[in-house]
Amino acid sequence: MLLDATDGVEVVGEAADGVEAVDVVRRTRPDVVLMDIRMPRMDGIEATRRICADPGCHGARVLMLTTFDQDDLVFSALHAGASGFLLKETRPQDLLQAIEVVARGDALLAPGVTRRLIARFTELTPAAAPPAVPDLTGRERDVLAAVATGRSNREIGEDLHMGYGTVKTHVSHLLTKLGCRDRAQLVVFAYEHRITVPGERR
């Protein structure tokens, strides 16, 4: 009801479980998929994995719903390709803003929540030598580390004394060079490759 009553937002489909969700996304090709984690037949993580890997669903960005304290499976959603997270008690206005943010792929949602999720994710990851990092310039590494803290392009520009357009260009180059779908995947890459660590501030 909230989404149907919002200008600029069209609900193109609904699903009762993960299997149906994948089918609906293939048929309707939405910009954003609002995905619950716990569902019958197929959970939201597996549904997200299939959607993000399916060329027929290209362009669909998945926004996960989580209770955070209970849904440890949310960490797996990062690898599945989720573009953002929302707590189930999110206020209606914040929900609408989150959908808009994910649709444009411009910034991570609720940086504080995202940092907590990533920190817990990395704590659960076995210690091992980080994978090799593709050749990045010093500036690209700085921007990637800043993205991993949940900062927006404007905040990164202020921190690194760079213009907004320059930051945006660096982020675009990082997405291409690292083969990442969006900023959420850049965050995962930065933590897995030890370019930044939980709790680090630049």
Topology match between the domains 18-105 and 138-192: no
pLDDT at 202: 44
Cα–Cα–Cα angle for 95, 28, 94, nearest 5°?
A: 5
Instruction: Check if the beta carbon of residue 123 is closer than 8 Å to that of residue 95.
Output: no
pLDDT at 110: 60
pLDDT at 104: 81
Strand partners, 84: 63
Strand, helix or coil for residue 89: coil
Q: For residues 201 and 149, give the distance between their C-alpha atoms in angstroms, rounded to a whole number.
A: 8
- Which architecture characterizes domain 138-192 according to CATH? Orthogonal Bundle (1.10)
Question: Closest by alpha carbon to 89, among 98, 80, 100?
Answer: 98
Please list the pLDDT of the chain residue by residue as tens digits (202 residues).
Answer: 888 888 888 999 999 999 999 999 999 999 999 999 888 899 999 999 999 988 888 889 999 887 766 666 777 788 888 888 888 788 888 888 888 888 887 656 665 666 666 666 666 555 555 566 778 888 999 999 998 887 888 899 999 999 999 999 999 999 989 988 888 888 888 877 877 765 554 4
Enumerate the domain spans of the chain: 18-105, 138-192
C-alpha pair distances (Å), 95 with each of 64, 115, 190: 11, 19, 27
DSSP codes of every residue in 140-200: HHHHHHHHTTT--HHHHHHHHT--HHHHHHHHHHHHHHHT-SSHHHHHHHHHHTTSS-TT-
pLDDT at 179: 85
Q: In what order do the strands lie in the sheet with 32-36?
A: 32-36, 61-66, 84-87
Question: Closest by alpha carbon to 174, among 196, 147, 156?
Answer: 147
Question: What is the CB-side half-sphere exposure of residue 88 using CA atoms within 13 A?
Answer: 11
Counted residue by residue, the chain has a size of 202
pLDDT at 190: 85
Strand, helix or coil for residue 131: coil
Instruction: Check if the beta carbon of residue 48 is closer than 8 Å to that of residue 79.
Output: no
pLDDT at 162: 93
CATH (one of 3.40.50.300, 3.40.50.2300, 3.30.565.10, 3.40.30.10) for 18-105: 3.40.50.2300
